[in-house]
Amino acid sequence: MSALRSVLFALALVLVTPPYAVVAMLSFPLPRMARYRLISAWSRLVIWLAWWLCGIRWKIEGRRHLPDEPAVILSQHQSAWETLAFQEIFPPQVLVLKRELLWIPFFGWGLALMSPIAIDRARGIAALREMARQGRERLAQGFWVVIFPEGTRVRVGEKRPYHQGGAWLAASCGVPVVPVAHNAGRLWPRNALLKRAGTVTVRIGPPIATAGRDPKDVIAQAQAWIEAQQPTL
């Protein structure tokens, strides 16, 4: 049954994504926030399809920890689920991502119109400076910034080092970091067609102050909190 439901979900994506990409491209003249709200509706539609066809539900813990003003979210990256569901769970946001993702037909085109912070990692310190510049602009425009510090999707149970870029961005912009832990990879595994029914837990941690702190200490604190949640997710 899971296999059939997963295939139906994949077919549904094929049907809804191209026409929605056309709608997204037509939204180009709109202001950034209006464009975001229109295009992010695709993410909410996909999450609803995942719930309806695959039985993937979710629950949120710690929503009270979210600051009133835009901040930098540092989250694990286990699957495609969180990149979509965060559009529903958190305030309007932009992703920090590899610029190559914007070249993916339909999906990447729509993503580009959501004002992401697309960087070329090969540029090293220049990429960090560009991330800070764009991040400061997006935060001033009312967007939150979502960063996956592991840099890529990581299978459940595996570990990768956390990059400091997100902590560095938050410190340079004077905003807090909000750590987020979840277990989406158990139901929607990395690069897997087959998806399992169940409930994803998204746990939001207390904001971490960054003013006057070394980004190394900030990312270490965020990583420690995130990894401490894993046994109970």
Q: 126: which 2 tokens?
A: 């220049």
Q: What is the pLDDT of residue 157?
A: 85
Contacts of 142 (CB under 8 A, 6+ apart): 33, 70, 92
Q: H or E stretch including 69?
A: none
What is the reported pTM? Answer: 0.92
CB 24 within 8 A of CB 42: yes
Domains of the chain and any CATH numbers: 2-232 (3.40.1130)
CB 56 within 8 A of CB 50: yes
CB 200 within 8 A of CB 183: yes
Q: How far apart are CA 216 and CA 204, in angstroms?
A: 21
Q: Kindly state the DSSP code that residue 175 receives in the 8-state scheme.
A: -
Q: 107: which 2 tokens?
A: 């999906």
The pLDDT tens digits for 193-207 are 899 999 999 999 999
Q: Per-block average pLDDT, block size 10, for the chain (233 residues)?
A: 90 89 82 87 93 96 96 96 94 86 73 78 73 88 94 89 92 94 94 92 97 94 96 87
Q: What is the pLDDT of residue 122?
A: 67
